[in-house]
Amino acid sequence: MNLIAVVLLCTGMLGSDPDIITGSDLRIFLRQQDITQEQLKGVLARNLDRSDAVSIAYKGMCQTMMAQHVFLPTAKLDYFNQGTRTIEEAILLDEKNAELRYIRLLVQLNAPWFLGYNKNVSEDMEVFLKAVESDKISGYWRKKFIADLLMSKNLLPEHKTELEKAMNFNRTRI
Please give the Cα distance from 141 to 143 (Å, whole number).
5
pTM: 0.81
Please give the Cα distance from 68 to 78 (Å, whole number).
12
Least Cα distance to 57 among 85, 36, 78, 38 occurs for 85
Point out which residues pair with 48 in neighbouring strands: 21
End-to-end CA distance of the chain: 26
Q: What is the pLDDT along the chain (174 residues), one digit of tens a residue?
A: 333 333 334 433 344 455 666 677 777 777 766 788 888 888 888 877 788 999 999 999 999 999 999 999 999 999 999 999 999 999 999 999 999 999 999 999 999 999 999 999 999 999 999 998 887 777 788 888 999 999 998 999 999 999 999 887 655 444
